[in-house]
């Protein structure tokens, strides 16, 4: 029985499933991603992690573990992460942008479930690494439309002189 079948066929208690997912996270952190990406795709673990993020009934602990797995992959190499999302979408007959949108939405939606500082940092760095790619979809998730801002929100940019310069008379145009 493969690890993917074991994760999906049996109903492991949340604490045991979290231990398995923590082991997978450790594997991702210590192994070269170039060889591991192919194995994660063929085993179905990457696709399972993406679909598990959409499960509304999953515990926050489990969602945080899946999110950390995906974030660590994105943090190590965001281009490989995008290729894995594309390959997963191709194998499932889905749209690549739709799968990427699911992952990015899950990163923002489930960030509060990530409890410890190391995992929160990994999720934030994984999201930041995806911004280094030239994918408009990853940038669009950070944009806030004017209609989403509160009415009384005012943005003001102010010049603050540098304390280490003797001549602080220069101003921004």
Per-residue pLDDT tens digits for 61-82? 888 889 999 999 999 999 999 9
Region 120-141: what's the mean pLDDT? 77
Region 30-54: what's the mean pLDDT? 89
6-36 burial: b if 16+ Cβ within 10 Å, else e: ebeeeeeeeeebbeebeebbeebeeeebeeb
The band of 101, judged by pLDDT with boundaries at 50, 70 and 90, is confident
With a pLDDT cut of 70, the percent of the chain lying above it is 71
Q: Is residue 24 part of a domain?
A: yes
User: CA-CA distance, 85 to 83, in Å (whole number)?
Assistant: 5
- Could you tell me the residue range of the domain that residue 76 belongs to? 3-146
Kindly report the pTM of this predicted structure.
0.74
Q: How many domains does the chain have?
A: 1
Question: Which contacts qualify for 35-40: CB closer than 8 Å, 24 or more apart?
Answer: 37/73, 37/80, 37/83, 37/84, 40/73, 40/84
Q: Is residue 87 part of a domain?
A: yes
Q: Is residue 167 part of a domain?
A: no
Supply the DSSP symbol for 47. H
Residue 166 has pLDDT above 60, yes or no: no
Q: What is the reported pLDDT for 9?
A: 66
Q: Is residue 118 part of a domain?
A: yes
Q: What is the reported pLDDT for 71?
A: 92
* H-helix or E-strand spanning residue 92: helix 78-92
* H-helix or E-strand spanning residue 88: helix 78-92
Q: Is residue 164 part of a domain?
A: no
145 phi, psi to nearest 5 deg: -70, 160
Q: Is residue 116 part of a domain?
A: yes
């Amino acid at each position: 029985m493969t690890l993917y079948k074991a994760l999906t066929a049996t109903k492991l208690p949340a604490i045991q499933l979290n231990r398995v997912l923590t082991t997978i996270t450790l594997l991702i952190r210590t192994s070269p991603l170039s060889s591991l990406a192919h194995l994660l795709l063929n085993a179905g673990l990457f696709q399972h992690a993406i679909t598990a993020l959409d499960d509304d009934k999953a515990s926050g602990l489990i969602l945080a573990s899946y999110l950390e797995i995906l974030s660590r992959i994105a943090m190590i190499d965001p281009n490989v992460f995008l290729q894995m999302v594309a390959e997963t979408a191709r194998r499932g007959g889905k749209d690549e942008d739709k799968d990427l949108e699911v992952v990015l939405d899950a990163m923002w939606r489930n960030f509060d479930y990530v409890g410890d500082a190391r995992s929160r940092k990994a999720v934030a760095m994984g999201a930041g690494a995806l911004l280094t790619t030239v994918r408009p979809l990853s940038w669009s998730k950070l944009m806030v439309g004017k209609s989403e801002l509160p009415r009384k929100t005012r943005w003001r940019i102010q010049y603050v002189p540098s304390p280490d310069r003797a001549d602080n008379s220069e101003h921004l145009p």
